[in-house]
Each structure stands twice: as C-alpha cells, then as structure tokens.
Amino acid sequence: MKKLTVVFIALLLTVFAFSQTKLVFWTAPNPQQEMFWKEVVAEYETLHPEIDIEWSTIPAAGSSEEAILTAIASGRAPDISTNIFSGFAAQLADIGQLVALNELEGFDELVETRKMGSIIEGWKINGNAYVIPIYSNPVLMWWRDSLLKEAGFDNPPRTYSEIYEFSKNFVVPMERYSIQVIAGRNWWDRWFDFITYYYAGGQGKSYIDTERMKATFNDEVGQEVAQFIKTMFDNQWTAVDLGSDPFYNGAIAGTLMGPWSIAYAENQYPDVVDDIVITPPPVPDNYPSDQPIYTFADAKGLVIFNTTKNLEEAWEFVKWVFSREDFDSKWLEYTKMPPAREDLLSNEVFADFWETNPLAAEYAKYVPYAVPPAPITTTVDVQDIMTVELIEPLMHGTKDVQKALDDAIKAINRILW
C-alpha cells in the first residue's frame, strides 16, 4: 500500500509539472538586482502555481548584449529579459525580435498605474513601445569634500575653468590627480564621459540626429567638451591609469558615478561615505547658472521576445510586477537605483527612503533631466568609433580638437547611412 501511495504521489507531481507553463526569465548579473528578482519570482510562483519561472542571470559573455544575441542566433532566447538599453532595444526591434507591448491588452493602464507616461515616450522606437523601463540612473559627479577643502574649495567646481583652478591647487604629479575624465576604452564607457559631458553642456541635446541619422556632436558644445578633455590630459591633471578605486583611495578628488556605486561605497568604503558630495556633471564656463544641468541616463528596461510560446502568461507576469508600488520601493531599497517613475519625489511610498538615503535622493532630483542613449541600431559601432577617432587622440595628443571631432563624425555618419 505504501508503495502504491508513493507511486501515486509521484504520478501526481509528474502530471502537475507537465501542466505548468514555463517562462524563461533573464535578469542583469548584479547582486542587488538578483536579490530583488529572486523574491519577486518566488512570490509570483506562490500565487500562480501553474507558472514555473526559470529565472537566471544573463549568461556570462563579453556583455549582456553579446550573450542575448548569441542566444537568439542559437534559438535559445529567453521569454523575458531585463538589462536592455534603448539602443540595444532598437537593434532587437529592427531584426524583429521584440513584442510591441503597446499592442497588448492593459498596456495603457499599466503605464498610468506606474506613472511613466512621459518616460515611456522617450523609449518608443518607430512609434512602438518595446520596453518597460525599469530604472533611470542619472550619471552625476562625486567629489571628496575633504580633498576639495584641502585645495581651498568650500564648494565643488561647477565649470571647466573651476576644475582647471582646482587642479592647479590639488594635483601632485604621478601621485594624485583632480578628476577621472575618461571612464575607459570600452564602447559603453562613452556613456560615462563624452556623452554625459555633451548632454550637460548642451542642455540634453542628442549627439545623434535620429531623424536625419547623422552625428551632430562636432558643434560648439562638442568642441568645448573635447577641449576640456584635451586640456586635462595635456596638463597631466588626469591620467589613463589611475589605479584601483582611485576615488576612494584619494588618488582623485572627483569622478562621474551612477547610483549603483552607493551600495559599493557603503559596503567597501563606509568611512568615505560621509565625505561624498554629489553634483551635476561639469559644464562649459558660459553655461547659464539659472538653468538645470542635464546628464546621461543609464536606463535599462525589460522586453518580451517574440519567440515566446507563452506571450499571455509572460505579459501577465510583467503587468503584475510593474503595477506594484511596493516592488518599486523594494527595488529602490535593494539597488539604490531610481525606478523609472515620474512620482519619485511626490509619492509617499518613497519618502522614508529619501530621508534616510541622502545620496540616493540627490539622484532622484536629476531623473527629469537624465537623457537615455540615442535609440540607434549601431550603438556599439558608433561608440567604438568615438573611442578610436575622438577620445584616444585627445588623451594622447595625436590630433587637435577639431580634427578629432571631424574624423569621428565622418566615420560615424558613414555607418549611420
């Protein structure tokens, strides 16, 4: 009898397993985000035992984009994935891989519920919404207050000339530098240096005219930004190699950072946290003092792939997640990254968090002035060209400002067409 009971239970479990709908769900390989999604997925599966969400982080590769493209090519794309930036979404939509979410029932209600009406407009590609934006991270300047005061500055420098003056007082050759001007040589590093500076100096103007599909950053703002970068390297006020964690170790006094760095600072360098002052990115000297300073938005979202065999179930899961205010509150608590909502500073759900997390609150102030990357399908190629034709020549002094800009524009426009 006992044997029959065991067989019966095993049979029931087998039948139940086969009756479940499986959704493959990938998220960003980030400890804080993983903690969030683990709890969300577990709650959904408890509420919906008929759904089995096979959740994992995006497979290891050179980048998330590379891993996803490889999966598509081999027929192993997930049903749903996060960690999608606007340019990559444009690329995926261009090759017909994404579901147009605005065509699904309940989309308008979800946009209204999550207060993301104007945000979603900025993510549209050819009139369609393929992405639910999860977060919008303004990139801002971090300064070490004690190091500023050591150089005679009570307030952080705001303009390029003020950074030059600070550098003269602070820099010790081969020992310490004023700021980190260039983030690195990867294509994505251009988001955290030239493009951020360009948005700041140009009041959010895009570096690519997406209607004419032409690069436009060889204008007056681009010249000022490029001259700023060149001046910092020419005078050795910054360097290519600044060592490990130079901001926390005092090798530099300022650098551009996203809000994801707050958790790292709190965990790895708690003694430095109270010394951090956050400002918008530096701007040209003639930038109006009464105007807001824009910046780059490191913004990522979620998509559903059109290869899914369970679109209805996938969409129900997505709607459930993003209709819950408490999930956005939990996301903020775990990641310190502002959810892509328009009511961050007015919604009482988030009020306690801002009060107890003043560094994160600084980021919330700039969400309205944070601009995502240009939605083009050739983001990687465009930003690789920026590195080779513009940034590296400025770093090494092998071209003057105008030639570096003109060479970059010419090469980029060749691939945009």
Q: Could you tell me whether strands 252-257 and 140-144 are parallel, antiparallel, or unpaired per DSSP bridges? A: antiparallel
Q: What is the dihedral of CA 124, 125, 128, 132, to 10 degrees?
A: -50
- Flag whether pLDDT at 13 surpasses 70: no
Burial 390-403 (b: 16+ CB within 10 A, else e): bbbbbbeeebebee
For 383-393, what is the mean pLDDT?
98
Q: Pick one of 3.40.190.10, 3.30.70.370, 1.20.210.10, 3.40.50.10540 as the CATH number of 21-137+297-371.
A: 3.40.190.10
* Cross-strand pairs, 51: 21
pLDDT at residue 8 tops 60: no
Q: What local confidence, expressed as pLDDT, does residue 7 receive?
A: 55
Task: Provide the terminal-to-terminal Cα distance of the chain, rounded to the nearest Å.
Answer: 75
- Token pair belonging to 276: 């951090």
Per DSSP, the three-state class of 74 is coil
Q: Are strands 295-304 and 370-371 parallel, antiparallel or unpaired?
A: parallel
pLDDT of residue 210: 84
In angstroms, the Cα distances linking 141 to 68, 138, 191, 333, 339 are: 31, 10, 14, 22, 20
- Residue 61's pLDDT is 73
306-339: per-residue pLDDT in tens? 999 999 999 999 999 999 999 999 999 998 889 9
Give the per-residue pLDDT at 241: 86
Q: How confident is the model at residue 10 (pLDDT cuts 50, 70, 90)?
A: low
CA 290 – CA 268 distance, rounded (Å): 37
Q: pLDDT category, 377, cuts 50, 70, 90?
A: confident
Average pLDDT over residues 370-380: 88
* Domain spans in the chain, listed from the N-terminal domain onward: 21-137+297-371, 138-296+377-416
Q: How confident is the model at residue 3 (pLDDT cuts 50, 70, 90)?
A: low
pLDDT one-digit tens code per residue, 134-190:
998 999 999 999 999 999 999 999 999 999 999 999 999 889 999 999 999 999 999
Residue 52, pLDDT score: 97
The percentage of residues in the chain with a pLDDT greater than 70, rounded to a whole number, is 95
Q: What is the DSSP string of 102-157?
A: GGSTTHHHHHHHTT-HHHHHHH-BTTB---EEEEEEE-EEEEEHHHHHHTT-SS--
Q: So what's the pLDDT on residue 1?
A: 52
pLDDT in tens, 215-244: 999 999 999 999 999 999 999 999 988 989
Q: Which of 30-44, 265-279, 368-382 has the lowest mean pLDDT?
A: 368-382
Using the predicted structure, report yes or no on whether residue 273 has a pLDDT greater than 90: yes
pLDDT in tens, 26-58: 999 989 999 999 999 999 999 999 999 999 999
- Region of residue 278 (left: phi > 0; alpha: psi -120 to 50; beta: else): beta
Q: Could you report the per-residue pLDDT of 259-270, keeping only the tens digit for each?
A: 989 989 999 999
> Is the model's pLDDT at 18 over the cut of 60?
no
User: Are the CB atoms for 263 and 30 separated by under 8 Å?
Assistant: no
Question: Which residues, listed in sequence order, are joined to residue 298 by a DSSP beta bridge?
Answer: 137
> What amino acid is encoded at 362 in this protein?
E
pLDDT, tens only, 56-114? 999 987 788 899 999 999 999 999 999 999 889 999 999 999 999 999 999 999 999 99
pLDDT of 11 over the 90 cut: no
Indicate the class that CATH gives domain 138-296+377-416. Answer: alpha beta
Percent of the chain predicted with pLDDT > 90: 79
Is the model's pLDDT at 9 over the cut of 70? no
Average pLDDT across the chain, whole number: 92
The predicted model gives 119-148 an average pLDDT of 92
| Rounded Cα gap, residues 345 and 111, in angstroms | 18
The pLDDT value recorded for residue 17 is 53
Q: Which residue has the tokens 């102030």?
A: 365
pLDDT band of residue 121 (cuts 50, 70, 90) is confident
Lowest mean per-residue pLDDT among 32-36, 237-241, 364-368, 401-405:
364-368
Q: Could you give the dihedral angle defined by the CA atoms of residues 59, 60, 65 and 67, in that order, rounded to the nearest 10 degrees?
A: -60
pLDDT at 112: 96
